[in-house]
Structure 1
Amino acid sequence: MSSSKERTSGGRGRTTGSVLSGLVVAVGCVLFLGGFVWGALLYRPYTVPTDSMAPTIGVGDRVLAEQVDGAEIRRGDVVVFRDSVWGNVPMVKRVVGVGGDTVACCSKDGRLTLNGKPVEEPYLQAAGPASPTGFSSKVPAGRLFLLGDHRNDSLDSRTHLKDGDHGAVPRSAVDARVDARAWPLGSMGMVERPAGFAAMPGGTSQPGPVRTIVIAVVVGAVMILGGAAYGPLARRMGRKGRESG
């Protein structure tokens, strides 16, 4: 009697539980596949070949970078860019100055200064001065001044100060903004926006939806596995019930 009540009105022997499990699997597929498609449309993976961004990004790390317009870039962002003067290959550096800024190093306590004000840079590779060599640059309008986090081992805007445009690259050279480290497993995590630039004009940028995408994919996978496991578990429990009866 009880088994007939559990059957659906369609008369095909499907129980309410099996219908719900199918629905869970369907929703899980939407979340799982939708998350992957969403991520593929917005993000591109890049492998960082050097340690110039250590410790934020290690040599060989794989990062996820959101494709954005160069006009959206703010101070503190880690960006992937190409510039013919720098070799026209994808490079990853941190933006420390935008058009109109004067970037210099170092202050009396060894810090980078932006428009004469020292900047806190907790992401740097090691203690000590923010740059082993002193420099000063007035960033032209529409350009970005870029430095590596490992200042002792980074070829960046300091290297190109005499190449024209005071070592800065055009905003149009930016391909993407790095949001997260994806590989290896031990280094997975978000690339946080530094607080040292937050109070400056323009503030810092907001992270892209990579965290939401990851959550959607993980939840979708759990729902698919959970829903798919219902059928075998229900049949096994049914057999045990009949045997005990």
Structure 2
Amino acid sequence: MSGSGRHDGHGRLGNALSNLAVAVGCVLFLGGFAWGAVVYKPYTVPTDSMSPTVNAGDRVLAERVDGGDVRRGDVVVFTDSAWGAVPMVKRVVGVGGDKVACCDKDGRLTVNGKAVEEPYLRDGGASSSPASAGRAPASPQDFTADVPEGQLFLLGDERNTSLDSRVHLEDPGQGSVPRSAVQARVDAVAWPMNGMIGRPEAFAALPGGVSSEGPLPLQAGALVAGAVLILGGAAYGPLAARSARRSERPKVSAGAH
């Protein structure tokens, strides 16, 4: 009887812990999913203008942000009537008050006279003389633009084919778009699962620095932890019952025969 009581006590405790694990797992999983749905919006990128960072057909997760929170180096989703009034994905390389130009003697983009290394370009950008390094310049055509206050200057990472601020240099604002046009900031490529889009170090030294990482890693962690707790808690019951049945089998002595 005492052994049975111990087994019953262990069983009740195990079931309680199992139920608690499932309950906490559900909270984490559903909470992480709901949090992500509120903060992020999925987009499908239609062109290769941001290749190789984001390719045509990629499914990205973009954090809903205010245009005032955007920093240089961010990949953003925006809509502007001068660009066709459809959502577009480009990288911010200049903000209000900046002088953006290309290219310097080493083929690099410059912001306020400071050369910017762009490792996210297909060939890694021009970090030394293009002729000696065999690398293409940061833009196939030279340009200069003064970005008005409250505006953003945007380029695609595929500089040979991207239709970006360079195409609109003759427009008011010299190709820039208002911060209010920004709808979201791209944080990750969800499909294929290429992971987070980092903040370029080259822009960190400029005034304002780079934006902070979004909450996507925390949300993903909550989803994973929730799934593990749910599966672990749900699996405990059958495993505990199987273990109990094994322990209750009568032992046969060697001299029974």
**TM-score bracket for the superposition, by shorter chain length:** over 0.9
For the Cα contact (< 8 Å) 1:180–1:191, is it kept in 2?
yes
For the Cα contact (< 8 Å) 2:50–2:89, is it kept in 1?
yes
Q: Deviations over 1:96-119 (max 9, x none)?
A: 000000000000000001111110
Which stretches in structure 1 are left out of the alignment for 5+ residues?
none
Number of aligned residues = 239
For the Cα contact (< 8 Å) 1:6–1:16, is it kept in 2?
no
Does the alignment pair 1:123 with 2:131? no
Residue 111 to residue 244, structure 1, CA distance change in 2 (3 Å): farther
Does the alignment pair 1:52 with 2:53? no
Does the alignment pair 1:179 with 2:187? yes
Aligned to 1:225: 231
Q: What is the CA–CA distance in structure 1 between the aligned matches of 2:8 and 2:81, rounded to whole Å?
A: 68
Using the TM superposition, give the Cα deviation of residue 237 of structure 1 relative to its aligned residue in structure 2, in angstroms.
1.2
Aligned to 1:18: 15
For the Cα contact (< 8 Å) 2:99–2:111, is it kept in 1?
yes
For the Cα contact (< 8 Å) 1:79–1:175, is it kept in 2?
yes
Q: What is the CA–CA distance in structure 2 between the aligned matches of 1:244 and 1:129, rounded to whole Å?
A: 81
Q: What is the CA–CA distance in structure 2 between the aligned matches of 1:71 and 1:3, rounded to whole Å?
A: 67
Q: What is the CA–CA distance in structure 2 between the aligned matches of 1:85 and 1:198, rounded to whole Å?
A: 30
Q: What is the CA–CA distance in structure 2 between the aligned matches of 1:2 and 1:177, rounded to whole Å?
A: 61
Q: What is the CA–CA distance in structure 2 between the aligned matches of 1:44 and 1:243, rounded to whole Å?
A: 56
Using the TM superposition, give the Cα deviation of residue 3 of structure 1 relative to its aligned residue in structure 2, in angstroms.
3.2
CA RMSD of aligned residues (A): 1.3
Aligned to 1:134: 142
TM-score, length basis structure 1 = 0.95
Using the TM superposition, give the Cα deviation of residue 5 of structure 1 relative to its aligned residue in structure 2, in angstroms.
3.2
Does the alignment pair 1:191 with 2:188? no
Q: Could you tell me which amino acid in structure 2 is paired with residue 211 of structure 1?
A: P
Q: What is the CA–CA distance in structure 2 between the aligned matches of 1:65 and 1:6, rounded to whole Å?
A: 52
Q: How high is the sequence identity, in percent, across the aligned residues?
A: 65
Q: Could you tell me which amino acid in structure 1 is paired with residue 216 of structure 2?
A: V
Using the TM superposition, give the Cα deviation of residue 7 of structure 1 relative to its aligned residue in structure 2, in angstroms.
3.8
Does the alignment pair 1:166 with 2:151? no
Q: What is the CA–CA distance in structure 1 between the aligned matches of 2:226 and 2:3, rounded to whole Å?
A: 32
Aligned to 2:132: none
Structure (1 or 2) with the larger CA radius of gyration: 2
Which stretches in structure 2 are left out of the alignment for 5+ residues?
124-134, 252-257
TM-score, length basis structure 2 = 0.90
Aligned to 1:34: 31
Aligned to 2:160: 152
Using the TM superposition, give the Cα deviation of residue 159 of structure 1 relative to its aligned residue in structure 2, in angstroms.
0.6
Using the TM superposition, give the Cα deviation of residue 14 of structure 1 relative to its aligned residue in structure 2, in angstroms.
5.6
For the Cα contact (< 8 Å) 2:140–2:160, is it kept in 1?
yes
